[in-house]
Amino acid sequence: MGAAPTAPVFTPSAPLRLTDMTREELTQLMIAWGEKPYRAQQAWSWVYARLAGTVEEMTDLSKSFRARLAEVIAPLRPPVISHRVSTDGTEKWLLDCGDGVAAETVFIPDEERGTVCVSSQAGCSLACPFCRTGTLPLRRNLTTAEIVEQVLFVRATMAARGVRVTNVVLMGMGEPLYNLAAVTRAVRIIMDNTGLAIGCRKLTLSTSGVVNKMEEAGLNLNVNLAISLHSVRDAVRDQLVPINRKFNLAALRRAALAWPMRGRDRITWEYVLLDGVNDSLQDARELVNWLKGIPSKVNLLAFNPWPGAPYAPTPREQILRFQEVVANAGLVTIIRDSRGADVGAACGQLAGTAGELGLFNPLHATEA
């Protein structure tokens, strides 16, 4: 007789952090601690639904259990290095991840939605020349906990003001598909319907087109997909989105067609309009042709300038003409205007300040 199959033993690696765990893993941890499994749901609800910031608030849990829990939840809120509020209501926080690393999180309110824009990496290894994040070196991937805690932090901050967080976009600093394992776990935690409960239609992941990770992402993530396209000519896209030199437009198109749509959605194509680079009406017509056969929505992004950016925004009238060509072809298209640009919180402006992110070479700093 063979040995009876045993349940997988949860063997967590230290240091444990509750926000790194899925609900199932937390349940296993409770079992490993000799606690009743329902303790997991109690703790989970306190953290993600009732938005407790400390164990002291979890008043219906015994003191001894709270003391144990404190080891895995302290601290629940990342320290804020800086916080800026735009005149349009957009807010940006630079959150301290420890080890000299920081990541930016943005909240964008509008009439019916409250959207958190989450970072997946500190910096980015891809250097798209129109994106300020691309000017930063990649410091490191963020952990699952660091991604989850961005959403938790904004949800709790907003809840205290009676403001709702309804949507999450993985469109902050970094390329989420280069941190796919942590992002996948974070998405599961953020979507858990007994916790933060952000539904799959309310969660969007944006990629620059990391084609070799898209299949795995499609299998594991039930989220809306946005792809940063910016040109349908390889020669232009090679410049704007350098990963195109590795995965060209034909490969990207195949990967997009293979993305599991689950009978509902469209792929969102992001297209930043850069004056004289990719914004002619011919570009618009080629875009429409390229998208034929893919269920698509086109987000035209007004370029958000930053100091030293080598591009200029397309004039408004030209954006509208470009949009008309796309719309006349029967495609859903919106113009995404910059939000929070005055505090550097708009798309592609996230960089902290060099000083805040510890990016100044100390030698240069003392020379200056």
Residues in the site for ligand SF4, rule: CB under 6 A? 124, 126-128, 131, 133-134, 174-175, 208, 228
User: What is the side-by-side strand order in the sheet with 296-302?
Assistant: 80-85, 91-96, 102-109, 114-117, 167-170, 203-207, 224-228, 267-273, 296-302, 332-336
Q: Which listed range, 19-27, 69-77, 205-213, 249-257, lies at the site for ligand SAH (CB under 6 A)?
A: 205-213
| Residue among 91, 146, 149, 270 that touches ligand SAH (CB under 6 A) | 270
CB 201 within 8 A of CB 166: no
Site for ligand SAH in 299-318 (CB under 6 A): 301, 303-304
- Binding pattern for the stretch 60-99 against ligand SAH, x by CB under 6 A and - elsewhere: ----------------------------------------
What SS3 class is residue 61?
A: coil
Give me 50's structure tokens.
Answer: 């009732």
If binding is defined by CB under 6 A, does position 273 make contact with ligand SAH?
no
CB 336 within 8 A of CB 328: no
The least CB distance from residue 214 to ligand SAH, in Å, is: 12
> Helix 180-191 crosses helix 211-220 at what angle (to 10 degrees)?
30
Residue 303 contact, options ligand SAH, ligand SF4, none, Cβ 5-8 Å cut-off depending on partner type? ligand SAH
If binding is defined by CB under 6 A, does position 272 make contact with ligand SAH?
yes
**94 beta partners:** 82, 104
| Residue among 105, 157, 184, 207 that touches ligand SAH (CB under 6 A) | 207
- Binding pattern for the stretch 125-154 against ligand SAH, x by CB under 6 A and - elsewhere: -----xx-----------------------
Ranges of H-type helices in the chain = 23-32, 38-44, 63-73, 144-159, 180-191, 211-220, 234-240, 249-258, 281-291, 316-328, 362-367
How many chain residues bind ligand SAH (CB under 6 A)?
A: 15
Minimal CB distance to ligand SAH: which residue? Answer: 348
CB 185 within 8 A of CB 22: yes
Q: Reply yes or no: is the peptide bond before residue 15 cis, omega within 30 of 0.
A: yes
Q: Which is nearer to ligand SF4, 20 or 146 (CB)?
A: 146
Binding stretches for ligand SAH (CB under 6 A): 130-131, 171, 175, 206-208, 228, 270, 272, 301, 303-304, 347-348
